[in-house]
Structure 1
Amino acid sequence: MKIIINVALFVVSVICTAVLIISIYLSMLNSGGFEYLTIGNEEVITINDEFSSNSLMQLLKNILKGLILITLITFIQLPTASADVLSPGTSRVDYCFQVANLNKYSNYLLIAHIQSANPGLGTYNVILKPGQCERLNGYRQYSNIYAIRKSQVKSQDIIIDGDRESLKDFNRQKSQLIPAKNTINPVERLPDRYGIKQVTEILKIISITPKSLELKYHEIIYTYQQGNSERKPYQSQDNRPSPSLKHKFNLFNLIIPSISIFGVMLLYRRTKIFRNQN
């Protein structure tokens, strides 16, 4: 979608540049700026002596205004549309979380109980597996994490759906579950200036006791739209590390202004040469 927008802005910029060049020509033509001379068998276009420096300065001012308009057009960034209203300059990102050291606690099952801020959307649970990254991309979703000994779960209590498993009658068995204090709240949107496509949070189990499950955020992985990623460790459990600000170079933002500036410089130089010759 962004590629289409950039191409559209490029086309608009080209049209504006063409209109600007035509306006320059018509302005000089209407103000008597051009004079046709016959030298031998050739007809040469020169600058009229009566075309004053004030007229030239006014023309250059108009050109400068046009350049400013074109530059503003090429720097336009349209916000991404979605079902929810987004703040200007922000976009939605994909989010998932995973627990890194599940194998160390192989006698337990870890269960994510996924809910929404809208009670009408219902809830569901997922048994977490090593290497599995559980997505939270629904409407204001969040997740609570529970542990339960595998010996307390019968095979018929597990629902298998493809490569995903869940606990049957979750609410009935909730009294046997060991809750974690952490609530997983996803990153839903980020400023466009970061250029982030996906956010992955890694948690680690610190300890499991009969009454408590202790989890800690270990690191966060930001995947950029270009495909490269960045890992940032958690320094504090209360502060999510921010992505690095990477400048996104857009060639379209330079092509048209550069061409326009070059054209103005060339026109001014030729005008100066013609006036000196006359």
Structure 2
Amino acid sequence: MSFLRQPLILADVAPNVGYTRNFEYCIKITNLNKYPNYLLFAQIRSPTSKPGAYVQIQADRCLLVDGYRPSVSIAAIAKSSVKKSDLAKNDLGTILKNNKLQKSLIAGTPSIDRPFSVPIINNGKKIEASFEIQSLDRQGLKLVRVPESTQILNLLLFPTIGIAILGWIVWKRQHKAVNR
């Protein structure tokens, strides 16, 4: 019976066949300009490190989400509550340095998790996830993911090429058989 009570082993496993982890992931808030009285901040968290600084999200700019299994919390604050001295610039961008103001941030839902893997066709590419503010008031911030437009051309391109190559091979074999 002791073999049934083995400790749980947690490890980083290889991605599924056809998927990769070699990609950059960034998030963008597309309708931030509709809320000029608020500043939005993102805090990137990781299970292996302490929470990072609150980095200001700029309108129509992509915020890179990096680290080991990162999760992003989005929060808002009224512009009138923030002074220039409460903000600082660093290599991440503009950060909220006043810890007292961090307590008055309006928490956003849901938190955003970086995908573990993407299809191998995206190897080495930047994946942009777009979100919209559905509602923002003093009670809360609600974000929704903007659906990505999938082009029908991409879905038809590879099968069409495959069928064309297969047809060419069959034609070549028949043409060789006729010439013999």
Q: Specify if TM > 0.5.
A: yes
Tell me which of 135, 139, 144 is aligned to 2:64. 135
Partner of 1:247: 158
Please state how far the C-alpha of 1:176 moved relative to its aligned partner: 0.5
Query: Larger C-alpha radius of gyration, 1 or 2?
Result: 1
Q: 1-side partners of 2:114 and 2:55: how far apart?
A: 16
8 Å CA contact retained: 1:187, 1:199: no
Q: 2-side partners of 1:102 and 1:126: how far apart?
A: 15
- Which ranges in structure 2 are unaligned for 5 or more consecutive residues? 1-11
Which residue identity lines up with residue 40 of structure 2 in the other structure?
Answer: L
Partner of 1:68: none
Alignment of 1:167-178 (within 5 A): 167-170=96-99, 172-178=100-106
Which residue identity lines up with residue 104 of structure 1 in the other structure?
Answer: K
Does 1:210 pair with 2:138? yes
Instruction: Return the TM-score normalized by structure 1.
Output: 0.48
Alignment of 1:1-278 (within 5 A): 85-92=14-21, 93-118=23-48, 120=49, 122-161=51-90, 164-170=93-99, 172-192=100-120, 195-196=121-122, 197-220=125-148, 231-232=149-150, 244=155, 247=158, 269=180
Q: 1-side partners of 2:45 and 2:79: how far apart?
A: 24
Q: 1-side partners of 2:20 and 2:118: how far apart?
A: 6
Please state how far the C-alpha of 1:167 moved relative to its aligned partner: 0.5
Pair 1:218–1:179, CA change in 2 (3 A):
same
Please state how far the C-alpha of 1:109 moved relative to its aligned partner: 0.5
Which residue identity lines up with residue 217 of structure 1 in the other structure?
Answer: R
Please state how far the C-alpha of 1:215 moved relative to its aligned partner: 1.7
Q: 1-side partners of 2:47 and 2:156: how far apart?
A: 31
Give the 4+ runs in structure 1 shifted more than 6 A.
none
Pair 1:158–1:217, CA change in 2 (3 A):
same
Please state how far the C-alpha of 1:207 moved relative to its aligned partner: 2.2
8 Å CA contact retained: 1:94, 1:188: no
Q: 2-side partners of 1:138 and 1:111: how far apart?
A: 18
8 Å CA contact retained: 2:44, 2:73: yes
Instruction: Return the TM-score normalized by structure 2.
Output: 0.70
8 Å CA contact retained: 1:95, 1:188: no
3-state SS in 2 of match to 1:176:
coil
- Which ranges in structure 1 are unaligned for 5 or more consecutive residues? 1-82, 221-230, 233-242, 270-278
Larger RCO (CA under 8 A, 6+ residues apart): 2
RMSD (Å), alpha carbons: 3.5
Q: 1-side partners of 2:117 and 2:140: how far apart?
A: 32
Identity %: 28
